[in-house]
């Protein structure tokens, strides 16, 4: 497929080697306007805003992924395979299963369980376990330590259901899964297939244990700055 793609209007070279991917286009805009110098809008197809600029001298891009595995599956596939992107760092929100995690704590997703069927396309004779780049995980942990934030490293659940009629979230918790979001497993699959790097860093926005701590949409958009700074410091040129 030639570029621009059906979903990204950018030209060759418009994206940096590392792209931060929040789900929300407004969070992408916030990151670009708050942290990037000389940020340029390189994509706005369907309002999925993508910017490239500089952070502490490093060329970095940020673009929204939308919600769910099909959406991040499209955008990360095109970035990895058509735009020469080497690393994608998802910066998202999640719901926490663990009593050790509170609102605004951070999960570094070493692995991504899923109730979805994204990996079926590879026709594997078994079950694929989507995992992050160890190199990026290691750097993220170092940055979390420097920032002094409360964080956990482990498995996360990428669910295809936000409104889960079976209310099955806590069944995953008994297997040590830290929390739930909706994108990471597809991102990790695409990175593995393309031979590229991926990582998901999530800020706890909601808790199954402490619902009184749940955050608002505006807080999710504008206040998860520690996660953003950690990801920007992890970004490679």
In the chain (237 residues long), the average pLDDT of successive 10-residue segments reads 85 96 94 97 91 98 96 97 97 94 96 97 97 98 96 97 85 95 98 98 92 80 85 94
In a domain, 7, yes or no: no
In a domain, 99, yes or no: yes
What pLDDT, on a 0 to 100 scale, did the predictor assign at position 222?
66
Read off the pTM: 0.94
In a domain, 115, yes or no: yes
What pLDDT, on a 0 to 100 scale, did the predictor assign at position 33?
97
In a domain, 150, yes or no: yes
In a domain, 1, yes or no: no
In a domain, 191, yes or no: yes
Alpha helical stretches, state H, 25-68: 25-35
Query: Residue 185 is part of a domain; what is its CATH number?
Result: 3.40.50.1580
Q: Which domain holds residue 107?
A: 18-234
Number of domains in the chain: 1
In a domain, 11, yes or no: no
Q: 119: closest CA among 199, 189, 191?
A: 189
Cross-strand pairs, 236:
none
What pLDDT, on a 0 to 100 scale, did the predictor assign at position 218?
76
Q: Which residues are catalytic?
A: 206
What pLDDT, on a 0 to 100 scale, did the predictor assign at position 1?
64
In a domain, 10, yes or no: no
């Amino acid at each position: 497929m030639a570029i621009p793609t059906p979903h990204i209007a950018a030209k060759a070279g418009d994206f940096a080697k590392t792209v931060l991917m929040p789900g929300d286009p407004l969070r992408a805009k916030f990151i670009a306007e708050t942290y990037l110098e000389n940020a340029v809008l390189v994509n706005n197809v369907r309002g999925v805003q993508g910017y490239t600029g500089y952070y502490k001298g490093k060329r970095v891009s940020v673009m929204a992924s939308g919600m769910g595995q099909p959406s991040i599956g499209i955008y990360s596939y095109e970035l990895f395979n058509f735009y020469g992107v080497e690393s994608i760092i998802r910066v998202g929100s999640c719901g926490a299963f663990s009593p050790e995690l509170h609102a605004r704590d951070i999960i570094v997703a070493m692995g991504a369980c899923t109730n979805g069927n994204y990996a079926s396309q590879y026709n594997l004779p078994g079950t694929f376990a989507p995992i992050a780049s160890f190199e990026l995980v290691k750097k993220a942990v170092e940055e979390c330590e420097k920032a002094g934030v409360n964080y956990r490293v482990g498995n996360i659940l990428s669910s295809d259901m936000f409104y889960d009629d079976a209310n099955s979230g806590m069944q995953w918790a008994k297997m040590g899964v830290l929390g739930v979001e909706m994108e990471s497993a597809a991102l990790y699959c695409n990175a593995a297939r393309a031979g590229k790097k991926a990582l998901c860093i999530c800020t706890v926005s909601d808790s199954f244990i402490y619902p009184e701590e749940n955050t608002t949409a505006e807080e999710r958009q504008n206040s998860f700055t520690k996660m953003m700074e950690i990801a920007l410091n992890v970004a490679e040129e």
